[in-house]
Amino acid sequence: MWKHLPVCPRMRIKYTVFLVFVVALVIIEKENNIISRVSDKLTPRQTPQTPLQVTIVAPLAATKQNDSRSSIGKLDPGFRHMKRRLENFTEQADPSWGKKHILLLATTRTGSSFVGEFFNQQGENMFYLFEPLWHVERALTLETGGTNASAAGPAYRDVLQGLFLCDFTPLEGFIEPVPIDHVTPNLFRRESSSSLCEEPVCSPVVKGVFERYRCRTRRCGPLNFTLASESCRQKEHRAIKSVRVRQLETLRPLAEDPRLDVKFIQLVRDPRAVLASRMVAFSTKYKNWKRWAVDGEVPVDDDEVRKLKGNCDNIRLSAEAGLKQPEWLRERYMLVRYEDIARFPMRKATEMYQFTGIPFTPKVKEWILKNTQASKEVSGVYSTQKNSSEQVEKWRFSIPFKLAQVVQKVCGPTMKLFGYKFAESKEMLTDKSISLIEEKNFS
């Protein structure tokens, strides 16, 4: 029998579960004596049927009769009981059955926190996590003295896979200090996830202990991963935002996992704008760039310049792989520019939700309207409340032309792929009447 099942792993597991359901149907019908009660409702001309025939054929036959348009669920309360038991069986057999999984991939200062809120604000049917891979990167950096790409890729993948399946165990192994009995007060930016700030995950604060641990608008005690896992399983969909995955190819096993229905959204931004933003947000880390901006030429062979080139190359290679739509990524990959989201937030949000197959709720629309039309930017480099259209051009007046030239030189192929135009002079860079964004469709 197995050789006749579909080759596709996802379809094979669906067929397997279906066969299990059929067996369960027969057993439950016998237990509740549904067969005899349904038989009483059949016309005298109908011949006795097997339990499986009664289960499948009777509802179809009923719809064809003028005097019987109600479902079998209405004909027999035992059927409703059976349906509930089967729904419970489905969730136990595969807790991810029918759920959507969204992975928002980006790099720092590309607007990923802002775009992540498009999913975090979805409401009760979404379990959203903000940068859980921060712990993985930190642990690997402390262990090796730097992030090893060959080790980081598989670690990121395994942790993401666990989280999409509501299993926090892989992540716990990277948190310092190690959680005790699956409880920790140290999850990075917990307050950025609405799912981790609601009852029962947000447990009461013990007086005098962790009193300063704020979770959005309320105070919570340490995070209990067991409760978080239960909450995750109850949600219809799951979304994760991360700026730490270097190559999309390393996540291929997620797309091929039959338990998951993963959609990858890669968020990109003009690398000149990214550099300008990082120089403000990470002033110490980018002190060399700040010095070059003031008093000297940029040494193109400097490690910081090579790092910039490496980042651009990684982003471009991932995007090229996604845009080619290989079999494992077909209908699973979407490229979005921050500039397009900032200029047309509602339109792009609608497109993203259509891509994921998740309903675009009024709550999300309300949040977008409120946080893209702010009359005054809220203080703080991590704020998500801004006049988004103004953010598109702001960087052009905060970065010297000589730095823009360096970015254009080392990130040229990446800029061309994403449709970012080169500034040929200082005057062109600061002339807002000249757009540096080429209109492109990446679908």
Residue scoring higher pLDDT (21 or 100): 100
The conformation of residue 99, written as its DSSP 8-state character, comes to: -
Q: pLDDT value at position 71?
A: 40
pLDDT at position 123 over 70: yes
Q: What is the pLDDT of residues 142-175, one digit of tens each?
A: 876 666 777 899 999 999 999 999 999 999 999 9
State the average pLDDT over residues 62-78: 41
pLDDT at position 376 over 80: no
Q: Beta partners for 336?
A: 267
Please tell me the pTM assigned to this model.
0.76
State the average pLDDT over residues 383-401: 77
pLDDT at position 30 over 60: no
Q: pLDDT value at position 120?
A: 97
The chain-wide mean pLDDT, for the chain, equals 81
Q: pLDDT value at position 438?
A: 96
Q: What is the pLDDT of residues 421-439, one digit of tens each?
A: 999 999 999 999 999 999 9
Give the whole-number percent of the chain exceeding pLDDT 70: 70
Give the whole-number percent of the chain exceeding pLDDT 90: 64
Cα(248)–Cα(321) distance, integer angstroms? 8
Q: What is the pLDDT of residues 79-99, one digit of tens each?
A: 444 444 444 444 444 555 579
pLDDT band, very low/low/confident/very high, at 15 (cuts 50, 70, 90)? low
**Residues 235 and 95 sit within 8 Å (Cβ to Cβ):** no
Distance of CA 413 to the CA centre of its chain: 27
* Cis before 413 (ω within 30): no
Residue scoring higher pLDDT (46 or 236): 236
State the average pLDDT over residues 376-390: 52
Task: Please give the structure tokens belonging to residue 245.
Answer: 């995955």
Cα(288)–Cα(298) distance, integer angstroms? 9
Cα(156)–Cα(138) distance, integer angstroms? 12
pLDDT band, very low/low/confident/very high, at 186 (cuts 50, 70, 90)? very high
pLDDT at position 50 over 60: no
Q: If residue 69 lies in a helix (H) or strand (E), which one and from where to where? A: none
Residue scoring higher pLDDT (282 or 31): 282
Which segments within 118-207 are labelled E, that is strand? 126-130, 183-184
pLDDT band, very low/low/confident/very high, at 16 (cuts 50, 70, 90)? low
Q: What is the pLDDT of residues 245-299, one digit of tens each?
A: 999 999 999 999 999 999 999 999 999 999 999 999 999 999 999 999 998 789 9
Task: Please give the structure tokens belonging to residue 230.
Answer: 């239960």
Residue scoring higher pLDDT (189 or 374): 189
pLDDT at position 37 over 50: no
Range from 51-60, 144-153, 354-363 carrying the lowest mean pLDDT: 51-60
pLDDT at position 440 over 80: yes
Q: pLDDT value at position 315?
A: 97
Q: pLDDT value at position 332?
A: 97
Coil, strand or helix at 94: coil
**Residues 324 and 332 sit within 8 Å (Cβ to Cβ):** no
